[in-house]
Chain A
Amino acid sequence: MSVVAATRRRVATLDRRTVAGAFFAALGALDILGFGLGAHAGDAVFRFSVGGESAHVPDLSLPAGTTAIVLGSLSVALGALYAGWQLGRTARRVVIAAVMALFILALLCWVDAGNSPLNIVGLLQSSLTRSIPLVLGAMSGLLGERAAVINIAIEGQLLIGAFAAAVAASAAGMLWLGLISGSLAGGLIGVLLAVFAIRYLVDQIVLGVVLNVFVLGLTGYLYDRALVPYQTTLNSPGVYGTIRVPGLADIPIIGPIFFDSNVFLYITYAVLLLVQVGVFHTRWGLRVRAVGEHPVAAETVGIRVIYTRYRQLVLGGLIAGIGGAYLTIGSVGAFGKGMSSGQGYIALAAMIFGRWTPFGAVGAALLFGFASALQNILSILGAPIPSDILLMTPYLVVILVVAGLVGRVRMPAADGKPYIKS
């Protein structure tokens, strides 16, 4: 039987390879036919500076049609390579990443042909900042699920964080108080989630959704009743200014993207690093993972399963709350009804696409952030096709990436199962 299964698996892999290769080639064909032959006259100009850097990078000007054809041909070749050769894991990933990059470049050439210069650094900068709440939300989900509690309430944690941050920062006139309040508010949702999921064994999916609806209703109500009438005192928190990291911010291209942002981006770096190292390289993380995989085994070696789960959920809530605070005091500068607009769910998706690993989740979050930034740029440039259509492509690619690249996704074995102490 195992022989049969093995054979079937091999067939499946072969099919998957062919399909993926064909898909890449099709994308290449789209580059050539759509973006290359269908290009407007004129060059696509890409700008690589936002101004203020000490070293200036010159603009890159490309003939739009020809470039798209070249990029498309490369894609077709890579597709053939992918389908025809048995590539290693790393090589496969490189090919997929390359095809995606080529497609996006071709798309940008087509959109920008004969248009005003497209600022690549600005696009990437915006991708990165847009992914901040996604990354922080994904970390919240990850901390919970590594201890086997599913956290659907990330959305609610973001929203309440945004609300609390705006109100506290406006009322007190101090941004840092908003940051802390946002974090604590997220933590509070974590506490609610923990109490109902762990103590009262409520179904975790239903519970999470209920909490989200609860926060949506609560903040919406308070917004109408308090924030609108008292806008100046309760909903004008201001926004954190940017902090340039001395030295690093002056590096061309990289500097403005990674080291010239407000405090939230640096907090995100720190959280990411702490979670990655914490989960995989410390005693703390090993125990958390044991609780998520086999809670009874953890209990028998003296690890407190229930306590660990409470702690993880609260910790996650605190982190997601910071992500929420970013939405108001890190970005927009005022609370708006339902302003998290599904980003909590996208954060959850990012964590799953990232296979329950911090860096994986960041990769996925960046992809979503990029998609969102691209949509913005496209609508500004006035792309000749509906931006909604173009926007489906990154998600399609994500599905393909997950299907073809990530392989077997393995969640923590006890994920979502309540632990009942005998």
Chain B
Amino acid sequence: MKLELRGITKRFGPLVANDHIDLTVEASQVHALLGENGAGKTTLMNQLYGLQHPDEGQILLDGRPVSFSRPADAIAAGIGMVHQHFMLVPVFTVAENVTLGVEPVHRFAGLLDRRRARREVHRLSQEYHLDVDPDAIVETLPVGLQQRVEIIKVLLRRANLLILDEPTAVLTPGETEELFAIMRSLKASGHSIVFITHKLKEVQAIADTVTVLRAGRVVGSLPPTAKDEELASMMVGHSVELTVSKQPATPGEVVLAVDDLVIEGKEGTRAVDGVSFELRAGEILGVAGVQGNGQTELCEALMGLRHVGAGSVRVSGRDLTNARTREVLHAGVGYIPEDRQGDGLVGDFTVAENLVLDTYDRPPYSRAFSLALGTVERSARKFVAEFDVRAQSADELVRTLSGGNQQKVILARELSRPLALLIASQPTRGLDIGSVEYMHRRIVEERDKGTAVLIVSSELDEIYALADRIVVMFEGRIVGVRTPAVSRAELGLLMAGADTGTAAGAAAP
């Protein structure tokens, strides 16, 4: 089935989510729709699926104009959508979920024909090698299998065009490979696929054509053989340096001194077991390690969020061991927590309120008995502009922003006061390229202003991009201190706990 979109425009208030989008998807093709979060990909597909209605423009299927007022219309026209967040009823069986809305029934009294439902699922599962048990309860299945249930659901409705909305976001690398195999077999049997993503490597691996969206517009089409840099710069709108350019560090005074730190973990274990290091002004220390090796506990202890069992923490010479979090903040420590929605933001507060979460108790935001709401408002507008937070206004609830914009709010808040030390835990997890680049750039700028920066990341790319020095944590200990010249292989071995023969211990530059 050939799909054409002509001049699709969708506005939400003053925001133009889709601005005259033209797009053609040929039959038996995987057409990748590449764009940052908030570029308008999902909005576009929701209109194609009848969940939202275009303000202007036309949708053509095989040359005939169509108009969908409900998903049912789109389904009837042969369009199927696999949503980013699965549309499955957790307590139903696979067969019930798949047939929901098109249930086979006995001719007598409209009773459900469960046997036929099961048979249909089984047939499709075999035909496309999906390997799904029709009787399994959906909530008991791993994410990868749930996604296949969604695919069967779409196939059962005889969809010729499948829309996959960021299908790999929730998958492990192995599951992603399996998904690609399924996509190839679908393509071979004549299905067209719209593949929404912001991951360049996946586009190159599976797509036949790539269309790039940015800020609601089509900015171009490319063959999938295009280079990373080419795709990325088109997506972001300016040339992207996938590696941040930075000058060599000029370390100054010791800002953070951690000495023989011990933190209790679960059931008498030690989450952090005798960690010592120093961090100087104007340098970035990268803490590498597989997640769950004590990094989270370390950061929380530094912030006064977790009890320190033994050892000491000093910031700019002040002893902050087991200090209250407010004292730590007032000592000039900024914190970007790994769980941005849980620990970094209050989702039901506005952007402006979130921006003063750790400074509201001091001037200029606080007067004798009340908040200076005007000042909060004004400075929020300033930060929203300065950090390019894509929100309709500073009064928008943070919960409604994309992950990248939420992280920008946190970053803006933390950098809004003079810092001696910035602690950032997994600062770019789940963000798109543009946001990653932005975060990295701001972090390096902060370093250049003379702030000491501690980065915890399980992504080696991020460690290499930012760190002036690297420590590796394994089972609560620092098992290696390296310069960024270290090979990936060696870091990988250290992270896996292999003894590389080099003494671990105090990390001096």
A297 partner, pick from B72, B88, B105, beta carbons under 8 A: B88
B265-307: which have CB < 8 Å to A? 266-267
Q: Are A282 and B112 within 8 A (Cβ)? A: yes
Q: Mark B330-372, 1 if CB is under 8 A from A, else 0.
A: 0000000000000000000000000000000000000000000
A286 partner, pick from B72, B88, B90, B103, beta carbons under 8 A: B103
Q: Are B100 and A299 within 8 A (Cβ)? A: no
Q: Are B112 and A286 within 8 A (Cβ)? A: yes
Name the CB-closest residue of B to A296. Answer: B87
Distance of B210 from chain A, by nearest CB (Å): 27
Q: Are B111 and A282 within 8 A (Cβ)? A: yes
Contacts of B46 in A (CB 8 A): 422
Contacts of B103 in A (CB 8 A): 283, 286-287
Contacts of B112 in A (CB 8 A): 281-283, 286
Contacts of B92 in A (CB 8 A): 286, 289-290, 293
Q: Are B105 and A301 within 8 A (Cβ)? A: no
B111 partner, pick from A281, A290, A413, beta carbons under 8 A: A281
Q: Are B110 and A284 within 8 A (Cβ)? A: yes
Q: Are B105 and A283 within 8 A (Cβ)? A: yes
B100 partner, pick from A1, A282, A296, A298, beta carbons under 8 A: A298
User: How far is it, in angstroms, between the C-alpha of A281 and the C-alpha of B112 when the chains are bound?
Assistant: 6
B60-102: which have CB < 8 Å to A? 70-72, 75, 81, 83, 86-92, 96, 100-102
Contacts of A410 in B (CB 8 A): 91
Contacts of A289 in B (CB 8 A): 89, 92
B52 interface contact, C-beta 8 A: yes
Q: Are A301 and B52 within 8 A (Cβ)? A: no
Contacts of B266 in A (CB 8 A): 1
Q: A282-B105, A286-B103, A302-B71 given as contacts; is B91 within 8 A of A297 (CB)?
A: no
Q: Mark A244-286, 1 if CB is under 8 A from B, else 0.
A: 0000000000000000000000000000000001000111101
B35-76: which have CB < 8 Å to A? 46, 49, 51-52, 70-72, 75
Contacts of A297 in B (CB 8 A): 86-89, 100
Q: A282-B111, A286-B103, A299-B71 given as contacts; is B51 within 8 A of A294 (CB)?
A: no
Name the CB-closest residue of A to B73. Answer: A302
Name the CB-closest residue of A to B102. Answer: A301
Number of interface residues of A (CB under 8 A): 24
Contacts of B86 in A (CB 8 A): 297
Q: A281-B111, A282-B110, A283-B110 given as contacts; is B91 within 8 A of A301 (CB)?
A: no
Contacts of B102 in A (CB 8 A): 301
Q: Are B87 and A300 within 8 A (Cβ)? A: yes
Q: Are B100 and A287 within 8 A (Cβ)? A: yes
Q: Are B89 and A293 within 8 A (Cβ)? A: yes
Contacts of B81 in A (CB 8 A): 300
User: How far is it, in angstroms, between the C-alpha of A74 and the C-alpha of B496 when the chains are bound?
Assistant: 62
Q: Are B91 and A293 within 8 A (Cβ)? A: yes
Q: Are B89 and A301 within 8 A (Cβ)? A: no
A302-331: which have CB < 8 Å to B? 302-303
Q: Are A302 and B88 within 8 A (Cβ)? A: no
Q: How large is the interface on B (under 10, 10 to 19, 20 to 34, 35 or more residues)?
A: 20 to 34
Name the CB-closest residue of B to A291. Answer: B89
User: How far is it, in angstroms, between the C-alpha of A422 and the C-alpha of B105 when the chains are bound?
Assistant: 31
User: How far is it, in angstroms, between the C-alpha of A283 and the C-alpha of B99 when the chains are bound?
Assistant: 10
Contacts of A302 in B (CB 8 A): 70-72, 75, 101
Q: Are B90 and A303 within 8 A (Cβ)? A: no
Q: Are A294 and B105 within 8 A (Cβ)? A: no
User: How far is it, in angstroms, between the C-alpha of A1 and the C-alpha of B90 when the chains are bound?
Assistant: 23
Q: Are A303 and B110 within 8 A (Cβ)? A: no
Q: Are B101 and A301 within 8 A (Cβ)? A: yes
User: How far is it, in angstroms, between the C-alpha of A76 and the C-alpha of B480 when the chains are bound?
Assistant: 66
User: How far is it, in angstroms, between the C-alpha of A4 and the C-alpha of B268 when the chains are bound?
Assistant: 14
User: How far is it, in angstroms, between the C-alpha of A410 and the C-alpha of B110 when the chains are bound?
Assistant: 27
User: How far is it, in angstroms, between the C-alpha of A178 and the C-alpha of B500 when the chains are bound?
Assistant: 89
User: How far is it, in angstroms, between the C-alpha of A310 and the C-alpha of B72 when the chains are bound?
Assistant: 20
User: How far is it, in angstroms, between the C-alpha of A290 and the C-alpha of B99 when the chains are bound?
Assistant: 12
User: How far is it, in angstroms, between the C-alpha of A138 and the C-alpha of B369 when the chains are bound?
Assistant: 53
Contacts of A282 in B (CB 8 A): 105, 109-112
Distance of B405 from chain A, by nearest CB (Å): 19
User: How far is it, in angstroms, between the C-alpha of A296 and the C-alpha of B49 when the chains are bound?
Assistant: 14
User: How far is it, in angstroms, between the C-alpha of A300 and the C-alpha of B73 when the chains are bound?
Assistant: 11
Contacts of B52 in A (CB 8 A): 422
Distance of B270 from chain A, by nearest CB (Å): 17
Q: A1-B266, A286-B103, A294-B87 given as contacts; is B75 within 8 A of A301 (CB)?
A: yes
Name the CB-closest residue of A to B105. Answer: A283
Name the CB-closest residue of B to A277. Answer: B111
Contacts of A296 in B (CB 8 A): 87
User: How far is it, in angstroms, between the C-alpha of A277 and the C-alpha of B103 when the chains are bound?
Assistant: 16
Contacts of A277 in B (CB 8 A): 111
Name the CB-closest residue of A to B99. Answer: A286
A48-73: which have CB < 8 Å to B? none
Distance of A17 from chain B, by nearest CB (Å): 26
User: How far is it, in angstroms, between the C-alpha of A1 and the C-alpha of B105 when the chains are bound?
Assistant: 44
User: How far is it, in angstroms, between the C-alpha of A191 and the C-alpha of B50 when the chains are bound?
Assistant: 29
Distance of A57 from chain B, by nearest CB (Å): 39
User: How far is it, in angstroms, between the C-alpha of A405 and the C-alpha of B51 when the chains are bound?
Assistant: 43
User: How far is it, in angstroms, between the C-alpha of A9 and the C-alpha of B51 when the chains are bound?
Assistant: 43
User: How far is it, in angstroms, between the C-alpha of A283 and the C-alpha of B102 when the chains are bound?
Assistant: 9
User: How far is it, in angstroms, between the C-alpha of A303 and the C-alpha of B100 when the chains are bound?
Assistant: 9
Q: Are A301 and B96 within 8 A (Cβ)? A: no
Q: Are B90 and A294 within 8 A (Cβ)? A: yes
Q: Are A286 and B71 within 8 A (Cβ)? A: no
Distance of B393 from chain A, by nearest CB (Å): 20
Q: Are A300 and B83 within 8 A (Cβ)? A: yes
Interface residues of A (CB under 8 A from B): 1, 4, 277, 281-284, 286-287, 289-290, 293-294, 296-303, 410, 413, 422
- Per CB-CB distance, the 5 closest pairs between chain A and chain B, nearest first, are A302-B72, A301-B101, A297-B87, A283-B103, A293-B89
Q: List 15 A-B contacts (CB under 8 A).
A: A1-B266, A282-B105, A282-B112, A286-B96, A286-B100, A289-B89, A290-B89, A290-B92, A293-B89, A300-B49, A300-B71, A300-B81, A301-B87, A302-B75, A422-B46
Interface residues of B (CB under 8 A from A): 46, 49, 51-52, 70-72, 75, 81, 83, 86-92, 96, 100-103, 105, 109-112, 153, 266-267
Starting from the known contacts A282-B112, A286-B96, A300-B83, 17 additional A-B residue pairs (CB-CB under 8 Å) come to A281-B112, A282-B105, A283-B103, A283-B105, A283-B112, A286-B100, A293-B91, A294-B87, A297-B88, A300-B51, A301-B71, A301-B75, A301-B87, A301-B153, A302-B75, A413-B90, A422-B52
